[in-house]
Structure 1
Amino acid sequence: MSGSERHDGRGRLGNALSNLAVAVGCVLFLGGFAWGAVVYKPYTVPTDSMSPTVNAGDRVLAERIDSGDVRRGDVVVFTDSTWGDVPMVKRVVGVGGDKVACCDKNGRLTVNGEPIEEPYLRAKGASANGAPASPQNFTADVPEGQLFLLGDERSTSLDSRVHLQDPGQGSVPRGAVQARVDAVAWPMNGMVGRPEAFAALPGGVSSDGPLPLQAGALVVGVVLILGGSAYGPIAARSARRSRRPEASAGAH
């Protein structure tokens, strides 16, 4: 095989690999984007009732879930006529059959008598010896099929505590939940974690959503598209440069 044929073969292989990388990258990018669009819905949070976890004006990504998948500790988007019939964002602290109360002698929320450590009530770096988990004491028995919800900004949040005198003692039906907040997309504050304190209770906490996998597919897709697009011209240029000395040598 002549040098020219060898270099041409190398150039064709480079072009083939380049095209393959771009094709796979497009599949990953478009697939990840479509997957995310099906699973997640964006919401803009209008108030500071979930601060510091989610602040007013934050853009969040909420995973569409079945009401049966809701667990304690989840930050959910729900709509209930008693609460104004508009989408609201709160944290689930009690499910059907739970007795939710506040506060114990250390100022903590309790669920079925178990004290719950709630680090998400404080900004990062803030002292653990802060205000109690609720400025007012309360007790609620959550009916089956219902959820008891609180905002993380307990001093101003209008949540289940406001509706304690309503039927269900401030709880809302599981079916009112539309989605679970998995991440703050803007500003990019990252994933909303699952509180460890609820993990020991029956049912545990919910598993992480697929957002990291979807984001990974998007990133890998972009890298393959850009890398494949750049590799083809580089390989062709390299093959042309390799042929030039041979052409010069043949002329002599």
Structure 2
Amino acid sequence: MGDLAVGARSGHDGPEEQPERPDGSATPATNDVTGSGSDSGDGGGGGTKEQGEQEPKPKKPRSFWKELPLLIGIALVLALLIKTFLVQAFSIPSDSMQNTLQQGDRVLVDKLTPWFGSEPSRGEVVVFHDPDNWLAGEPTPNPNAVQTFLSKIGLMPSANEKDLIKRVIGVAGDTIECKGSGPLTVNGKALNEDSYVYAGNTPCSVDDQGGQFKVTVPKGKIWVMGDHRQNSLDSRYHQQDDHQGFVPVGNVVGRAIVIAWPPTRWDTLPIPDTFDQNLSAAAPGALGLAGAVPLVLWRRRRLTAGNPRVSGRGTAG
């Protein structure tokens, strides 16, 4: 035993004997610090995973070309929703709105606000469905399949819908009148239309086919006119139709808010300043009351003058 102890202190290379327990059994050996035993607690003798067991490989991302159909589908659905509920593009087919709009311009029309009950206002440029076959005799476009598809989702102006674009001059209750060459009046107040009426045109057309008129707009209707007054078959020239030239508010698609194409003509379409003046018509009830007050006072004076016993506080007893 003494030799073994000395050998251990002198760096003996052999395995060191474990001291015996009092009962004669050997003390169990401890694991070395390198972890020769299993760390996984499975009772196996190896510190590494069993052979053949590999780390899971990360998923390879799908290629762009596989994702492309999904992206196109999402884009088409969004375009359809935008066209139906928010904004739609329309093409200008004629010169009736010069110089505000030129033939071939593309305008964006706000379709959202009508969903919240907003109705057209004086001075707005609006797109509306043909109320009484105003476009009779106009050439009908014949789009191909691609153009038809793109127009349905709002990426191209609709070719088949019978839509027109004009400026709102009067709304329900307004009395609109045009005599001679102008000015055009709304509820007796003249409009200064120099900023939008085509240069060289007069506000009214001197003819017997609708250029001279006086109308009162019924409830739920609007009166529209083109900015190129001498080149626009608008409300003035459809007074013999079923709607008498008025456009039902329900036919209005929305307000044109911006010229989107061509880029050289990008611009907004604000309401002209002349419509900022108070153009509202006086309510019939208010007019009746205003007329009744002087009549009542006059009658009261007569009664007072003819009967001394009548005072301003009632009849004396």
| TM-score between both structures, scaled by the size of structure 1 | 0.59
1:121 is aligned, of 180, 197, 204, to 197
Partner of 2:123: 73
Structure 2: unaligned runs, 5 residues or longer: 1-74, 136-160, 206-210, 281-317
CA distance in structure 2 between the partners assigned to 1:139 and 1:168 by the alignment:
15
Q: Which moved more, 1:85-94 or 1:150-159?
A: 85-94
Shift of 1:110: 0.5
Answer with 1 or 2: which has the greater Rg.
2
CA contact (8 A) 2:178 2:213 kept: yes
2:277 is aligned, of 200, 205, 212, to 200
CA distance in structure 2 between the partners assigned to 1:93 and 1:109 by the alignment:
9
CA distance in structure 2 between the partners assigned to 1:195 and 1:36 by the alignment:
28
Partner of 1:160: 235
Structure 1: unaligned runs, 5 residues or longer: 1-29, 124-129, 204-252
Look up the equivalent residue of 1:153 and give its one-letter code: H
CA distance in structure 2 between the partners assigned to 1:36 and 1:103 by the alignment:
43
CA distance in structure 1 between the partners assigned to 2:255 and 2:172 by the alignment:
18
Look up the equivalent residue of 1:164 and give its one-letter code: Q
Look up the equivalent residue of 2:97 and give its one-letter code: M
Report whether the alignment pairs 1:190 with 2:190.
no
Report whether the alignment pairs 1:176 with 2:251.
yes
CA RMSD of aligned residues (A): 2.5
SS at match of 2:169: strand
Shift of 1:101: 1.0
Matches within 5 A, 1:1-252: 39-64=86-111, 65-66=113-114, 68-82=118-132, 83-84=134-135, 86-103=162-179, 107-118=182-193, 119-122=195-198, 130-135=200-205, 136-187=211-262, 188-201=265-278
CA contact (8 A) 2:105 2:261 kept: yes
Shift of 1:179: 1.2
| TM-score between both structures, scaled by the size of structure 2 | 0.48
Shift of 1:150: 0.4
Shift of 1:132: 1.8
CA contact (8 A) 2:98 2:228 kept: yes
Relative contact order, higher structure (CA 8 A, sep 6+): 1
SS at match of 1:155: helix
Write the deviation string for residues 41-76 of structure 1: whole angstroms up to 9, x where unpaired: 110011111110011111111111316331011100
SS at match of 2:231: coil
Look up the equivalent residue of 1:75 and give its one-letter code: V
Higher helix share: 1
Write the deviation string for residues 143-172 of structure 1: whole angstroms up to 9, x where unpaired: 111000101111010110111123443101
Aligned-pair identity in percent equals 39
CA distance in structure 2 between the partners assigned to 1:143 and 1:94 by the alignment:
10
Look up the equivalent residue of 1:69 and give its one-letter code: E
State the aligned residue count. 165
CA distance in structure 2 between the partners assigned to 1:113 and 1:202 by the alignment:
8
Evaluate the alpha carbon distance shift between residue 49 and residue 122 of structure 1 in structure 2; reply closer, same or farther with a 3 A threshold. Answer: closer
Shift of 1:196: 1.4
CA contact (8 A) 1:59 1:184 kept: yes
Partner of 1:17: none
CA distance in structure 2 between the partners assigned to 1:86 and 1:109 by the alignment:
28
Look up the equivalent residue of 1:80 and give its one-letter code: D
SS at match of 1:68: coil
CA contact (8 A) 1:100 1:111 kept: yes
Write the deviation string for residues 100-146 of structure 1: whole angstroms up to 9, x where unpaired: 11137x721100111011111145xxxxxx44202132211211110
CA distance in structure 2 between the partners assigned to 1:182 and 1:91 by the alignment:
12
Look up the equivalent residue of 2:260 and give its one-letter code: A
